[in-house]
Amino acid sequence: MELLQGRIRDYAWGSRTAIAELQGRPAPSDGPEAELWLGAHPGAPATVDRDGRPVSLTDLLVAEPEHWLGERLVGRFGIRLPFLLKVLAADAPLSLQAHPDAEQARTGHAADAGQVNYVDPYHKPELLVALSEFDALCGFRDPADSAEAIAAFGVPALEPVVAALRAGPAGLREAVRALLSWPAAERAGLVAAVLAGAVAGPASPDAALVRTLAAGYPADPGVVVALLLHRVRLSPGEGIWMPAGNLHAYLRGTGVEIMAASDNVLRGGLTPKRVDVDELLRVLRFEVLADPVVRPEPVAPGVLAWPVPVEDFALHHVTVSAAATGTRLTLPGPRVVLCRAGRLTVADGVGEVTLDAGQSAVGTAAGAALTLTGDGEAFVATCGLR
């Protein structure tokens, strides 16, 4: 194991306190800090020290693929780390978005040469585990509930959308297309009418959501599309599993996120960025998501996991006490370890490193089982191959 230096992304919706406080730096920070990337994604690869200078983890994988990744991972995923671990800290809503499945990503990337919708040929399922209370919109809820929620605002222009939703799941596509294709000249009026209904009507979670979103996006029909989704509030330790094709938006909070290493995002609103309605509709799954919340399962003393049905990644949380002898984890390499709290020493038979809160480490496929000692908590990211 050796120290890994992550990269901070300064997206406008980011927190000025959460990541700084995790890393023990002065807060608030000078600007928004939205995500801490701990991986080898070419958009912001983490680095390790080589003779006093930072070297990209991506470059190390290319130079020594079998040492870092192992023959099995190279054969399955190519010369790339198949997962990306992040700390995500949102002080404002992210865009409504969905991600393609593996086949859609391959064909889409080949068709547009990575210039428009598909910047790489990979899928992007993702799991987020809350570190604080975390608010999110995740997957379509029962269309009958969405129909009643929208009807309650009393906006005549939305009656066709309400009618489509009352037809059940079969009407979801029609409702989403109608909202995202709303004439540009009429969008501000639509949101204003819905907001007026939210202000005048009885207090409800849906009305509160409209007020929050309309404040930032007063001419975006995504404010109404948001009413079609589950509103979820996670407690620390609970997770959200977002497979391909599920529309979602994170609203506020801090979490650890692990995903397949891709940057393919199809947006549906709540953003100044490009929205491709036709392509989004092509990849969306117009089905009700029964329960997007994933709860941790104990897999060993002091070790929790959030099982997900992909080979690209797996995530474990480890709690270590100074009174105990430590925790041993037999997990496939390479591995990325993020110290969440306290101080931990992580060893893999090749090297060991001591981490304080907010620090991270990486080990190659050549390492043996992980041993964690000290007093603290850590997240361990690996591939999901077994």
Give the DSSP letter of residue 219: T
Catalytic residue numbers read: 267
**Phi-psi map region of 351: left, alpha, beta (phi>0 left; psi -120 to 50 alpha):** beta
Residue 145 CB neighbours (<10 A): 15
Rg (Cα) of the chain, in Å, rounded?
22
User: How many angstroms separate the Cα of 131 from the Cα of each of 28, 84, 242, 254?
Assistant: 18, 18, 17, 5
What is the distance of C-alpha 3 from the center of its chain?
24
Alpha-carbon distance of 25 to 59, in angstroms, equals 28
CB 143 within 8 A of CB 166: yes
Amino acid at 124: K
User: How many angstroms separate the Cα of 316 from the Cα of each of 110, 298, 336?
Assistant: 35, 10, 11
Alpha-carbon distance of 196 to 335, in angstroms, equals 51
